[in-house]
Amino acid sequence: MTQATGDLLTVENLNVEFDTHGGIVQAVRGVDFSVAAGETLAIVGESGCGKSVTVQSMMGLIPMPPGRITQGSARLRGQEILGQSRIDGREIRGAQIGMIFQDPMTALNPTMTIGDQIAEPLQVHKGMSRAEAAREAIRLLEVTRIPEAATRAKQYPFEFSGGMLQRAMIAMAIACKPEILIADEPTTALDVTIQAQILDLLQDLQRETGMAIVLITHDLGVVARMADSVAVMYAGKVVERGSVDDIFYRSAHPYTLGLKAAMPSNDPTLKQSLQPIEGSPPDLFSPPPGCGYAPRCPHAMKVCQQQQPPEASLSSAETNRPHGSHCWLHEADSPFKPAELHFIENDSAVEQGAAS
């Protein structure tokens, strides 16, 4: 599958592993995704599937003695950023890509005021003076809807609530107007009402600044609300990717189906028990030779246990959000096609895909 041109950020075949006391853990085993300017990509998966490690290694935040990028590339506007700290004469982190993290209570320096922490990237990347940066910090706090911004800027993290801290982190991350904002489970540690506010804020900021957002989450509800395109990850690989409509209405991978089925419904007329996916993810110390989801997949075939499936292209036309799925069920010779899965309409498209 080719990448659409004009993508802002493209990640190809990223592999990351860690040396631990128990052996080598292969946390990320060949991940591809891309983000276009101004749009939101959601990376979805359960705990331990490697979504955080993927973005953090891309940003160079994984300590490289125990961690290692063994293969792959990540390109911003066509230029490689793995192992680099600057491109186009500017710092990548902070100035071109901003990042916010899951737990705002521990992600901020407890001994520095919020205002100082927001002013830091302004001073370093934009060369502002202390006074200028302080003023801009207050303005940013107002943009992220923190009341009494001037007073708040002089306070310390322990005086803020969780939701306000997350807003402060967002202010800090967008201070230098980056083109991409990576949000690593930004609302997981917050309660639901605050969650909604934060997500709204992110969408508003995106509309105003035109920045792209990479949103990592395990909550399909958040995906439905925020995402333009989605990448579903399992056991260190992207198993399905496409536009948000593709993923929700034309799911092409059993895991995606399983996730959707596990979502609790708020329909009061339904009386059925929750449907979890039985089992747990594979041990990444010795990943299975075949598809990682095979042990839990209701449609597994022998080949699934033996070899990793290639990516089957499901887009009928050239689109900038191609729909792909790593599943053997899409190969022409598979004996059955489960009804609830989406397959390509006509065989000719498959042949076309197979030949290219």
Partner 1 sequence: MPSHPKAALDFSPVGTEREVQTLSRPSLSYWQDAWLRLKANRRALVSLFLVIGLLLFTLVGPWLWQVNPASQDLDQVSQPPGVDRSALVVDPYTPWLGGATAGTGLRLAEPATTQSVRLAWDALPSARGHRVYRNLFPVGPELAYGIPRAEFFDNSTLTFEDRLDIKPGTYYYTIVALNADGSLSRETSALTVDVQRVTTVAEARERGLVANEAALVPGDRVELALHPLGTDYLGRDMLARLMAGARVSLFIGIGAPLCFVLFGVFFGSVAGFIGGKTDQVMMRFADFVVALPFLLFMILFKIAFGIGPGESGVMPMLVALVLLMWPATARLVRGQILQIREQGYISASQLLGAKTHYLILRHMLPNTLGVVLVTLTFAIPSAIFTEAFLSFIGMGVAPPTPSWGSMSNEGIKTMLTTPHELIFPAALISTTVLAFNLLGDGLRDALDARMRNRE
Partner 2 sequence: MWSFILKRLAQGVITVWFIATATFFAMHNVPGDPLLNDRAMTAAIRANVEAKYGLDKPVAEQYVIYLGNLIRGDFGISFTQENREVNDIIREHFPVSATLGILAVLFAAAGGVLWGALTALYRNRMPDYVIMFFVILGISVPSFVIAAVSQLMLVGVNSALGVTLLPVAGWGTLSHMLLPAMVLGLGTMAYLTRLMRSSMLEVISSDYVRTAKAKGLPAARIFTKHQLRNAILPVITVLGPSIAAITTGGFVVELVFAIPGLGRYFVQAVQQLDYTVIMGTTVFYGAFLVFMVIVVDVLYGLIDPRVRMQ
Which residues here bind partner 1, judged by CB under 8 A?
278-280, 283, 294-296, 298-307, 310, 328, 331-336, 353-356
Q: Contact 190/163 with Cβ under 8 angstroms?
A: yes
Residue 198 CB, nearest approach to partner 2 (Å): 17
Interaction between residue 99 and partner 2 (CB under 8 A): yes
Q: Which of partner 1, partner 2, none does residue 294 bind to, with CB < 5 to 8 Å depending on kind?
A: partner 1
C-alpha dihedral sign at 52, 54, 59, 61 = positive
Q: Does 59 bind partner 2 (CB under 8 A)?
A: yes
φ, ψ of residue 118 in degrees (nearest 5): -75, -35
Phi, psi of 157 (to 5 degrees): -50, -35
Q: Which of 47, 70, 79, 106 binds partner 2 (CB under 8 A)?
A: 106
Question: Which residue from 16, 44, 107, 153 is in contact with partner 2, where contact means CB under 8 A?
Answer: 107
State how far the Cα of 249 lies from the Cα of 340, in Å rounded to an integer. 10
Q: 212 is in the binding site of which of partner 1, partner 2, none (Cβ under 5 to 8 A by kind)?
A: none
Q: Is 66 in the site for partner 2 (CB under 8 A)?
A: no
Q: How far is the CB of 346 from partner 1 (least distance, A)?
A: 17
CA distance 167 to 146: 7
Instruction: Indicate whether 248 belongs to the interface with partner 2 (CB under 8 A).
Output: no
106 vs 161, which CB is nearer to partner 2? 106
- CA-to-CA separations, 226 to 47, 203, 337, in angstroms, rounded: 20, 7, 31
DSSP string, 102-129: S-TTTSS-TTS-HHHHHHHHHHHHH---
| Nearer CB in complex with partner 1: 62/304 | 304
* Beta strand 40-44 pairing with 229-234: parallel
Determine the size of the site formed for partner 2 (CB under 8 A).
Answer: 32
Contact 328, 318 (CB under 8 A): no
> Between residues 162 and 295, which has the closer beta carbon with respect to partner 2?
162
Residues at the site binding partner 2, with contacts judged by CB under 8 A: 56, 59-61, 63, 85, 91-95, 98-99, 101, 103, 106-112, 120-121, 124-125, 156, 158-159, 169, 172-173
